[in-house]
Amino acid sequence: MPDIKTIKTEESQAVIIEIRAGTGGQEACLFAGDLFRMYSKYGQSQTWQQKILNSHPTELGGFKEVIFELKNGDVFSKMKYEGGVHRVQRIPETEKGGRVHTSTSSVAILQKPKGAQIKIKPEDLKIDFYKASGPGGQYVNKRMTAVRITHLPTSLVVTSQTERNQLQNKENALAILEARLLERKEIAETEQVSGERKAQIGWAKRAEKIRTYNFPQDRVTDHRIKKSWHNIEKIMAGNLDKIVSTLQKNLQ
């Protein structure tokens, strides 16, 4: 049985969520936007605080990528099973023949490091500034406010362009970098303790197809526990309580 300290740490752990469009072109970008809004509305219902750290929107209202933080509450214990590949099956608005298309977006759930969990040396960072770009690739700001940080020891590269000044974008990019470094550290520790197979499973979470959102059949299916829920519009509007509680019971 876990001790009280462990439970408290997990419940109060802030998370950084990365959503990226996968296969399916513009429809995948629109689906990434739908997932972002679904988690945002769920976060609002839980009274969590949200902050967008970086995003690359598209002209049709979707996202190639959106990275955001959720905090102030039991965020990690409720969101930790959302990581993996999410698949959507629906008729896109741009489809004139009425055919159902299948698209994907990937979700990564990263814990935000606390205190001394991750220490980054200033000399290990290469920081570049550039102009932020909008959906069509055009520059949205005349000043060099966007930030790109390269972590030299690992070659990890993170960017942020959502804020209007360099300092805030730099803070956002560092938050993303710290979360990714913590993920690497935890996977390395898992490999050390449990052997290579467990470490590979850890990395595979990002590539594993976990859920399908089937609009024609009004059904959301989680493939890990082989369970489905109906009323897909309500679920996409942030009503995730039933799904989250079922996953907690079955995957704990």
194-251 residue pLDDT tens: 655 554 444 445 678 999 999 999 999 999 999 999 999 999 999 999 999 999 999 8
103-147 residue pLDDT tens: 999 999 999 988 778 889 999 999 999 988 777 555 555 678 899
Residue range 96-106: average pLDDT? 91
34-78 residue pLDDT tens: 999 999 999 999 999 999 999 999 988 899 999 999 999 899 999
133-190 residue pLDDT tens: 777 555 555 678 899 999 999 999 999 999 888 999 999 999 999 999 999 888 777 7
pLDDT reported for residue 6: 37
Residue 192 in domain: yes
- Asked whether residue 4 carries a pLDDT value surpassing 70, the answer given is no
pLDDT reported for residue 214: 98
Whether the CB-CB separation of 58 and 20 falls below 8 Å is answered with no
Residue range 93-107: average pLDDT? 88
What is the C-alpha to C-alpha distance for residues 24 and 36, in angstroms, rounded to an integer?
A: 17
pLDDT reported for residue 138: 56
Identify which has the larger pLDDT, 217 or 4. 217
pLDDT reported for residue 143: 75
Q: Which residues pair with 125 in a beta bridge?
A: 151
Whether the CB-CB separation of 154 and 184 falls below 8 Å is answered with yes
Whether the CB-CB separation of 136 and 151 falls below 8 Å is answered with no
12-25 residue pLDDT tens: 679 999 999 999 99
Q: Which of 249, 242, 251 is nearest to 42 (CA)?
A: 242
Identify which has the larger pLDDT, 135 or 88. 88
Range of the domain at 97: 4-246
Residue 178 in domain: yes
CATH number at residue 204: 3.30.70.1660
Q: Burial code of 114-153, b = ≥16 C-beta within 10 A, e = fewer?
A: eeeebeeeeeebeeeeeebeebeeeeeeeeebbbbbbbee
DSSP string, 189-212: HHHHHH-HHHHHHHHHTTTSEEEE
What is the C-alpha to C-alpha distance for residues 196 and 187, in angstroms, rounded to an integer?
A: 10
What is the C-alpha to C-alpha distance for residues 69 and 36, in angstroms, rounded to an integer?
A: 11
Residue 252 in domain: no
How would you classify the pairing of strands 209-214 and 156-160?
A: unpaired
* Chain mean position to CA 213: 17
pLDDT reported for residue 220: 98
Binned at pLDDT 50, 70 and 90, residue 98 comes out as confident
**Total domains in the fold of the chain:** 1
Residue 251 in domain: no
Location of structure tokens 């979360």 = 179
Residue 191 in domain: yes
User: pTM of the entire structure?
Assistant: 0.85
pLDDT reported for residue 89: 97
Residue 138 in domain: yes
- For 155, other C-beta atoms within 10 Å of its C-beta total 7
pLDDT reported for residue 206: 64
